[in-house]
Each structure stands twice: as structure tokens, then as C-alpha cells.
Amino acid sequence: MKIGFIGVGKMASAIINAIKETDTSIIISGSSLERSIEIAKKLGVDYAKSHQELIDQVDLVVLGVKPQKFPSVLNGLIFKQAIMSMAAGITLEKLQQLTDDKLPLIRIMPNMNAIIRESTTAITFNEKASDKWKGYCLQLTNQFGKTYEIEEKDFDTFTALAGSSPAFIYQFIEAMAKAGVNNGISKDKALEIVEQTVMASALNLQETNSNPNDLIDAICSPGGTTIAGLMDLEKNHFTHTISSAIDQTITKAKRL
């Protein structure tokens, strides 16, 4: 299988690094020929002299273009193969209008954890995608993480829960570390402690197949330190703040 990437930003580069070790031939086309040569050398893949040259020689085109640039980048290009888009806000219907309604179209939404091959990725297909294409695409996306096949109507919610939420989690980790510094622990040590705790807590939730509330109850003892902290979080609207941030992210995604 030969895969071509049009647009090679951070996300596309992370995906390429994950899949180039498989039985896959990769070629890229960036914003300019000079940029394509530079990135191809860095990633250890081939480059095309133009987007159309790339399209004419691959089995699958992956679009790593920013959503607002789709119309200008795709204008005049002639596609003849399956197309995979990773752009937020570009629906399969919109992609069909910009390309060809007779082709298999795939929409994915990975997150930046693809860098460490631990992306949480959503995927959906149009009616032209055969079971063979679906199987291949799922195999491909699982190379850089875990894939969830969901209905397209849920993509904006998925974008908030998996695409944007790592930034919220990092903000939480940073806040916890600052609290450690405020109470006498060095920033490096505080970060190390919080990182390990967050990672192990998520793993505990997965491996025990527990409900979060069950584990919260297991940690809290009557009149103890943990319940005191939790009550303060709720007094400061912690749950509502997180939920509101997700809602705002979804609203923004729907406007793209």
C-alpha cells in the first residue's frame, strides 16, 4: 500500500513516524516543494513535486491540511483513490463536495498522543468505503494508538473529550505541581510525583474496570484529608468548570 500525505504538520508527522515501520510506502507533499524536501529528509520518506503528482501515484491520500485551507488546497485536484481526512469540522459531506462523491472517504480525529503511539482516535466512513477499506484503515490507525469507530454526529464531542482534553489534563497537572511548589517541593519533583500519580490512576481505572466514583469513595475516609479537598473542589465548581470547558470546545468545533 502506498500512502500520500498532503500537509505534513505535527500530527501527520507523528502518524508517519508510527506507520513508516510497517509494510507501507509513504510519500508527502507540503506547503511548498522546499518544505516537502525538508520534511521528507527529516522523516525519512519520499516527496512529490506537487499535490497532484502525489495523488497520481498513491492508493490512499491522507489530508493533514488545516480546515480553513481545504477549499484552496483541494481546488483543481483530481482524486482517484480513497481519501482520509483528519481535519476538525470538515464533515464527510463537505469532503465529498471538495473531492469526489464516488470515492471511499474516511474521517479520523487523532490526538497528539500519536507522538508516543498512544493516540485516542475516532474514525468514520462514507457508504463507498468497503469492509476491506474499513479493516485496512482501522489497522492503520491502531498503529499509533487506539481507535473508536463512532457516528459522525459525535465527532465534535469526541474532539473535546479526546482531542482537546489533553490540554486540560496538562493544565490540571501544572496546577497540582504548583501547589506542591507552594508547599515546599521543587517544581521538577512535584511534576514527577503528579505525572506518576495521574498515569497510575488512569491505569487503575482501566485495569480494575471500576467506576470513578467507586475509587473516589475507596480513597475518602470519613472526616479525612481527601474528602476535605474534594469538598473544596466542589465549592469552587470543579465539576461544572470541566463540563463547561468541554461544552465550549464542542460549540467551537461545530462552528469550524
Binding residues for NADP(+): 6-11
Binding residues: 6-11
26 CB neighbour count, 10 Å cutoff? 22
Pairwise CA distance, residues 48 & 59, whole Å: 14
Pairwise CA distance, residues 30 & 40, whole Å: 9
